[in-house]
């Protein structure tokens, strides 16, 4: 049983708390929040002893009863909390984006060297069976050799709120960091399947387009991403425009259309078109997408050699490099 401590009690933490009830290899034993009111509201739901509700993050990290922490605070706090968690010898599931930029992510990598800590960036969709089935079909070349991919994640905030973290550059706001990191993370996963020995650091961004709003953050962005295998991966993201939020992967013998790549249900499906047939690939999961992530991470702690599709630190570093260049290209 993996005993968890939750750092930060925003909306995403509530999803984590509800999801962890689905799995039998994990439980929340401690929570920390700078808002005591939130703590008191959770006591009844989590069945945690009151002395394990901390109003100070450091107190939680000093708790010896915790095996792993879930960092769910504002983006600009991830670096400091991740390093403190590493020094406290806690396994870490850190919400995306891992940090504000590549240089910060490198500092986490440096601290992880020679440690036995399990670290993953929280892209929950990567732990869902749908993603595993997608990878299998691509690896088996059911649609032939992949030549292009297009994915999008965008939503409409309806109005620009300078007080919201989404529109605050110092807090890691903007479409690229908030949800653009999903299409880039999927591109990395697919690229590794297509070419096992690929050097993910050898990438190129082109056709960068979008808009910087009045608060200084990007509110819509597009780009073409290519690796050394020359496959074109089109990226689309927005916080001011609703997008289809899908992924289309094209090969020499067909294509795959995933209508819900980022938040698949327990019973999900994607469509496969080949030269010979069309079918819907249905995938059943024992857990919701967030519970799948918790279950897989717990198994990674228990088995360090487990092969999985979660986002580990080296891949997170590449992802942050891509996000950095995407943002800089848009600002020019």
* Total residue count of the chain as it appears in this document: 332
DSSP label of 286: S
In the prediction, which pLDDT does 40 show?
56
CA dihedral sign, ordered 244, 14, 270, 280: negative
116 alpha carbon, distance to own chain's centre: 22
Whether 267 contacts 284, CB under 8 Å: yes
**What is the set of domains in the chain, with CATH numbers?**
2-122 (3.40.50.720), 125-287+307-331 (3.30.360.10)
In the prediction, which pLDDT does 72 show?
95
Other Cβ atoms within 10 Å of 232 Cβ, number: 15
In the prediction, which pLDDT does 44 show?
64
**Alpha helix (H) ranges present in the chain?**
11-20, 36-46, 57-61, 78-87, 102-112, 129-139, 175, 181-194, 289-302, 313-331
In the prediction, which pLDDT does 38 show?
53
Q: How far apart are CA 54 and CA 95, in angstroms?
A: 20
- The SS3 assignment for 52 reads helix
In the prediction, which pLDDT does 230 show?
82
- The SS3 assignment for 307 reads coil
DSSP E strands, 184-246: 204-212, 218-226, 232-238
Q: How far apart are CA 33 and CA 31, in angstroms?
A: 7
In the prediction, which pLDDT does 171 show?
93
- Evaluate the omega torsion of the peptide bond into residue 39 and state whether it is cis, within 30 degrees of 0: no
pLDDT block averages, 10 residues each, the chain of length 332: 93 91 94 68 66 86 95 96 98 98 98 95 97 96 96 92 88 96 97 90 96 94 92 96 95 97 97 96 97 97 87 96 96 74
State the number of CA atoms in the 13 A half-sphere of 138 facing the CB. Answer: 28
Q: What are phi and psi of 31, to 5 degrees?
A: -140, 145
Burial 196-229 (b: 16+ CB within 10 A, else e): eebebeebebeebebebbebebbbbbbbbbbbee
Cα-atom radius of gyration of the chain, to the nearest Å? Answer: 20
Other Cβ atoms within 10 Å of 194 Cβ, number: 20
């Amino acid at each position: 049983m993996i005993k968890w401590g939750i750092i930060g009690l925003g909306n995403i933490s509530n999803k984590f708390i509800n999801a962890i009830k689905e799995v039998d290899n994990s439980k929340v034993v401690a929570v920390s929040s700078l808002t005591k009111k939130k703590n008191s509201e959770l006591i009844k739901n989590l069945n945690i002893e009151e002395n394990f509700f901390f109003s100070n993050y450091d107190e939680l990290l000093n708790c010896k009863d915790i095996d792993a922490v879930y960092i769910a605070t504002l983006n600009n706090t991830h670096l400091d909390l991740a390093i403190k968690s590493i020094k406290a010898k806690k396994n870490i599931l850190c919400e995306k984006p891992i940090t504000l930029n590549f240089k910060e992510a490198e500092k986490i990598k440096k601290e992880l060297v020679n440690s036995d800590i399990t670290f993953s960036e929280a892209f929950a969709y990567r732990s869902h069976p749908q993603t595993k089935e997608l990878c299998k079909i691509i690896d088996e070349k059911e649609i032939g050799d992949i030549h292009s991919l297009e994915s999008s994640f965008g939503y409409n905030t309806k109005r620009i709120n300078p007080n919201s973290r989404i529109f605050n550059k110092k807090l890691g706001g903007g479409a690229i960091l908030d949800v653009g990191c999903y299409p880039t993370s999927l591109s990395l996963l697919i690229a590794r399947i297509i070419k096992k020995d690929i050097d993910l650091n050898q990438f190129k961004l082109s056709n960068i387009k979008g808009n910087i709003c009045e608060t200084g953050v990007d509110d819509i962005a597009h780009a073409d991403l290519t690796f050394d295998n020359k496959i074109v991966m089109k990226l689309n993201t927005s916080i001011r425009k609703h997008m289809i939020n899908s992924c289309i992967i094209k090969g020499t013998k067909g294509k795959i259309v995933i209508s819900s790549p980022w938040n698949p249900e327990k019973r999900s499906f994607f469509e496969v078109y080949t030269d010979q047939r069309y079918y819907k690939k249905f995938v059943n999961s024992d857990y919701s997408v967030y519970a799948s992530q918790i279950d897989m991470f717990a198994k990674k702690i228990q088995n360090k050699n487990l092969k999985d599709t979660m986002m580990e630190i080296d891949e997170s570093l590449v992802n942050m490099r891509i996000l950095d260049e995407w943002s800089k290209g848009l600002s020019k």
